[in-house]
Amino acid sequence: MTTEDIEVFLTINACKNISHAANALFMSQSTVSYRLATLEKEVGVKLFFRKKGLPTLSLTDAGERFFVIAEKMRDLHKEALSLQYINSKTRLTVCAVDSVNMYLLTSFYDAFIQENSQFELTILNGYSEEILPKLEQRAYDVGITNSDIHYPSVDSQLLFQEEYVLVMREDIPSNFQSPVNIKSLDRSKEVYQSFDSNFAQWHDRLLSVAKCKANTEMARMTMNLINQKGDWSIVPISVAKHYIKQPGLFYYPIENPPFPRKVFFSFNIRGSAAHQTTINHFKESLQRFLAHAHPYLIQPSPKR
């Protein structure tokens, strides 16, 4: 039984006719009939039957069962042939929180792909509490999160920290006394997003979420909802710097700010030596990029 025999069988089933199958396969009808007869002899059952007076073929009960097997055989053959392409590149799956992916890493991914053609990147968005257990299960290679919750097989290393700032929509910059006391702002115009647990605790001590304009989970939605004069939000400075390119948006330092946002680089420590080398290369490339492209980020102190 060859892969060609399987393809003949599947094509006959799709066309329901020997003549049509022969045309689709660019074979003679006699060749197709011979291959089918040979296959039926090898498996020891009749795979098709023809109703009297009709040119169409139908699968027998045995043919129905063999059809499932034939599809699996074809798929396995394709998968085996694809190994040459899979092995030619190193696959790396990176899952990061949305605000880091969108506002810090988009140009990094592009540059990394351009400079490292041997890698095939899969880039995903996720929440920290989802990313870390997936790393433990080795569903992802790298996670970039706002949390370093402990998992036995996951190492989380501080990648950077960044300050939070006030973003506001205005016609012209306000004459705020700097830094701004957020308690003096109109709560009904706040668009709230919790970026991590420390930020949420800080916010809850000072303000009530119930009185805000909107409560969102994505930075893009947060910034889209700051669309009326006086609307405001507290966001990481990387998000603010991205959006103040738009007219009418400004950012300011805040009084008694929350602790800086911490972002971690996480990975499973149980991979092969070659895989760990790949992870280290990716991390070093990322660190160089962040230091150069986003110098306002607070880099971790070098280990002694």
Q: What percent of the chain is predicted at pLDDT more than 90?
A: 68
The tokens of 4 are what? 């060609």
Q: In the chain, how long is the greatest CA-to-CA distance?
A: 93
Do 164-252 and 89-161+261-293 fall under one CATH topology? yes
pLDDT at 87: 56
pLDDT band at 88 (very low <50, low <70, confident <90, very high): low
pLDDT for 170-195, tens place per residue? Answer: 988 888 778 999 999 999 999 999 99
pLDDT band at 86 (very low <50, low <70, confident <90, very high): low
Q: Given CATH 3.40.50.1370, say whether it is the number of domain 164-252.
A: no
CATH of domain 3-84: 1.10.10.10
Mean pLDDT in residue range 282-291: 97
How many Å apart are CA 41 and CA 9, to the nearest integer?
13
Mean pLDDT in residue range 123-144: 93
Q: Which of 232, 234, 223, 231 minimizes the C-alpha distance to 256?
A: 234
Q: Break the chain into its structural domains and give their ranges.
A: 3-84, 89-161+261-293, 164-252
Q: Is 304 a residue whose pLDDT tops 70?
A: no
Q: Is 258 a residue whose pLDDT tops 80?
A: yes
What's the pTM? 0.70
Q: Is 123 a residue whose pLDDT tops 90?
A: yes
Select, from the ranges 20-34, 148-162, 168-182, the one with the highest average predicted confidence (pLDDT).
Answer: 148-162
pLDDT at 24: 82
Averaged pLDDT of the chain: 91
* Domain 89-161+261-293: CATH class, spelled out: alpha beta
- 296 or 90, greater pLDDT: 296
Respond yes or no on whether the N-terminal peptide bond of residue 173 is cis (omega within 30° of 0): no
pLDDT band at 84 (very low <50, low <70, confident <90, very high): low
Helix H, strand E, coil C: the string for the chain is CCHHHHHHHHHHHHHCCHHHHHHHHCCCHHHHHHHHHHHHHHHCCCCEEECCCCCCEEECHHHHHHHHHHHHHHHHHHHHHCHHHHCCCEEEEEEECHHHHHHHHHHHHHHHHHHCCCEEEEEEECCHHHHHHHHHCCCCCEEEECCCCCCCCEEEEEEEEECEEEEEECCCCCCCCCCECHHHCCHHHEEEECCCHHHHHHHHHHCCHHHCCEEECCHHHHHHHCCCCCCEEEEEHHHHHHHCCCCCEEEECECCCCCCEEEEEEEECCCCHHHHHHHHHHHHHHHHHHHHHCCCCECCCCCC
pLDDT band at 26 (very low <50, low <70, confident <90, very high): confident
Mean pLDDT in residue range 282-288: 97
